[in-house]
A and B are shown apart, each in its own frame.
Chain A
């Protein structure tokens, strides 16, 4: 890149997208670009489980701290949940190197648009930008370097929290209630099915997500549990009308300690009732069966 002056490319008209600008002036800096090609892909760190759930006040996302390379733990304190901008957050599972680069580019992309246009992108717009970035990574995904992000944020227009998931071809799907990605996602999803309630407050939802990560770590070797000796806890972020906030290690630590105390009594975690007996959120079918 040119370090001094402003080359004519900088002054040319074009879109408000930083990615498109980068593709024009410095394509070698796009995530994973130099890696595309044949040959065996070496074993690289993979991020594991990310969970997210909506609640009455917005949406919460959490991720464990483990990265694995094959059967080895590559890193025990990796961070896989990031604030994308003031109102949205993104969590990553899959090939960690490319995913982290992609998140870095995504954050610049959102900020760049905001500065040039003077307004924020809509939440749908942000998720579409992320989808097109994932689509750009398809060649790498075919070689096994898949990036699986989970995107969530506060939709200012609709005044609620929303979650979007993606597939390797850039397919974008809105998720209702909760969603999980990564190697431990199956176990976390089963756990959240029983614990999540869209009417809960932020605090309860944070607790439900931490429980689901604990369940994922319980059954999936790739997902890291809370590291009590080193005091390494999952990253938890919330997005509400007030913006994105990351819970401090202290706040998460206190909750994890409570979960662990509870699991001393019942190692499988809190028990859910086998039938839904009452409550406004119970659907008709459930109520019928309960009677």
Chain B
């Protein structure tokens, strides 16, 4: 009978984290920024039909990088969670924090269980409130840790480099969270692109817009609108 080789728990966790990180690093990035009227989500995505950004509920949006089938599964679970909550209680009782907690629990359990392979995904749960002060951007990583991001969040392959570029662009233009939507999209696209140029057909952009009259504040930006913003 062969004995299983001993692997220390530290090594095990490190191996699993490396595995997940490698998977995520292969993907194209997503940037989520605050602007005056809400939160703007920008993804580099060459597919017009396989979305990385999605509506979850009235004021809550979802963005993800990594393995498509895994985050698609999480997205659907999130919509089910939100819709069930809203149906059982009230629309006002569905919160981004509740959803971020649910995701964190799930990702954390899977990461440390050892039974399944860890999810190769990173998620952002964005929620807008009645004013800019109550907007929230939660960033979740493959191991279930949650961070509450102040101004913007970037995830994916070159997250750090892109975050640096966005910080530099924001300070160079002297604009912060009170930026207009157009400024915000321009900065995000420039940050994601770096040396390259990103065309409208390789971008997926959506906003949670407080100024929208409808109950559902999520809106995708069409190609025409995006072209105008970037010109």
Write the residues of chain A forming the contact surface with B, with a CB cutoff of 8 angstroms: 1, 4-6, 10-11, 18, 21-22, 25-26, 29, 104-105, 108, 111-112, 115-116, 118
Alpha-carbon distance between A104 and B88 when the two chains are bound, in angstroms:
11
User: What are 22 sample pairs from A and B whose C-beta atoms fall under 8 A apart?
Assistant: A1-B84, A4-B105, A5-B105, A6-B102, A6-B103, A6-B106, A10-B76, A10-B81, A11-B73, A18-B80, A18-B87, A21-B84, A22-B84, A26-B84, A29-B88, A108-B83, A108-B86, A111-B216, A112-B79, A115-B54, A115-B55, A115-B83
Q: Which residues of B contact A29 (CB under 8 A)?
A: 87-88
B17 interface residue, CB < 8 Å from A?
no
Establish whether residues B106 and A108, one from each chain, have CB atoms under 8 Å apart when the complex forms. Answer: no
Chain B, residue nearest A104 (CB): B87
A-facing residues in B65-118 (Cβ within 8 Å)? 73-74, 76-81, 83-84, 86-88, 101-103, 105-106, 109
Establish whether residues A4 and B102, one from each chain, have CB atoms under 8 Å apart when the complex forms. Answer: yes
Q: Which residues of B contact A18 (CB under 8 A)?
A: 80, 83, 87
Q: Which residues of A contact B101 (CB under 8 A)?
A: 4-5
Alpha-carbon distance between A118 and B52 when the two chains are bound, in angstroms:
12
Establish whether residues A11 and B83, one from each chain, have CB atoms under 8 Å apart when the complex forms. Answer: no
Alpha-carbon distance between A111 and B55 when the two chains are bound, in angstroms:
10
Establish whether residues B105 and A6, one from each chain, have CB atoms under 8 Å apart when the complex forms. Answer: yes
Establish whether residues B87 and A108, one from each chain, have CB atoms under 8 Å apart when the complex forms. Answer: yes
Q: Which of A5, A11, A25, A104 has a CB less than 8 Å from the CB of B84?
A: A25
Q: Is the interface of A mostly helix, strand, loop or mixed?
A: helix
Chain A, residue nearest B79 (CB): A115
Establish whether residues B56 and A115, one from each chain, have CB atoms under 8 Å apart when the complex forms. Answer: yes
A-facing residues in B27-58 (Cβ within 8 Å)? 49, 51, 54-56
Chain A, residue nearest B99 (CB): A6
Establish whether residues B77 and A6, one from each chain, have CB atoms under 8 Å apart when the complex forms. Answer: yes
7 interchain residue pairs of minimum CB distance: A10-B77, A5-B105, A6-B106, A6-B77, A6-B102, A10-B80, A11-B77
Q: Which residues of A contact B84 (CB under 8 A)?
A: 1, 21-22, 25-26
Establish whether residues A5 and B87, one from each chain, have CB atoms under 8 Å apart when the complex forms. Answer: no
Establish whether residues A1 and B88, one from each chain, have CB atoms under 8 Å apart when the complex forms. Answer: yes
Q: Which residues of B contact A1 (CB under 8 A)?
A: 84, 88
Alpha-carbon distance between A183 and B79 when the two chains are bound, in angstroms:
39
Q: How far is the CB of A85 from chain B (nearest CB, A)?
A: 10
Q: How far is the CB of A165 from chain B (nearest CB, A)?
A: 26
Q: Which residues of B contact A112 (CB under 8 A)?
A: 79-80, 83
Q: Which residues of B contact A26 (CB under 8 A)?
A: 84, 88
Q: Which residues of B contact A104 (CB under 8 A)?
A: 87
Q: Which of A1, A10, A21, A104 has the most CB of B within 10 A?
A: A10
Q: Which of A5, A21, A116 has a CB less than 8 Å from the CB of B106?
A: A5
Q: How far is the CB of A153 from chain B (nearest CB, A)?
A: 17
Establish whether residues A21 and B80, one from each chain, have CB atoms under 8 Å apart when the complex forms. Answer: yes
Establish whether residues A22 and B79, one from each chain, have CB atoms under 8 Å apart when the complex forms. Answer: no
Inter-chain pairs besides A6-B81, A6-B103, A11-B77, 5 sampled, C-beta below 8 Å: A4-B105, A6-B105, A29-B88, A115-B54, A115-B83
Alpha-carbon distance between A39 and B118 when the two chains are bound, in angstroms:
53
Q: Which residues of A contact B77 (CB under 8 A)?
A: 6, 10-11
Alpha-carbon distance between A115 and B84 when the two chains are bound, in angstroms:
14
Establish whether residues A111 and B83, one from each chain, have CB atoms under 8 Å apart when the complex forms. Answer: yes
Q: Which residues of B contact A116 (CB under 8 A)?
A: 76, 79
Alpha-carbon distance between A29 and B86 when the two chains are bound, in angstroms:
12
Alpha-carbon distance between A22 and B51 when the two chains are bound, in angstroms:
25
Establish whether residues B105 and A105, one from each chain, have CB atoms under 8 Å apart when the complex forms. Answer: no
Q: Which residues of A contact B55 (CB under 8 A)?
A: 115
Q: How far is the CB of A107 from chain B (nearest CB, A)?
A: 9
Alpha-carbon distance between A105 and B87 when the two chains are bound, in angstroms:
7
Establish whether residues A5 and B54, one from each chain, have CB atoms under 8 Å apart when the complex forms. Answer: no
Alpha-carbon distance between A11 and B119 when the two chains are bound, in angstroms:
13
Alpha-carbon distance between A116 and B55 when the two chains are bound, in angstroms:
9
Q: Which residues of B contact A11 (CB under 8 A)?
A: 73-74, 76-77, 106
Alpha-carbon distance between A102 and B81 when the two chains are bound, in angstroms:
20
Q: How far is the CB of A239 from chain B (nearest CB, A)?
A: 15
Q: Which residues of A contact B88 (CB under 8 A)?
A: 1, 26, 29
Alpha-carbon distance between A65 and B14 when the two chains are bound, in angstroms:
65
Q: Which residues of B contact A108 (CB under 8 A)?
A: 83, 86-87
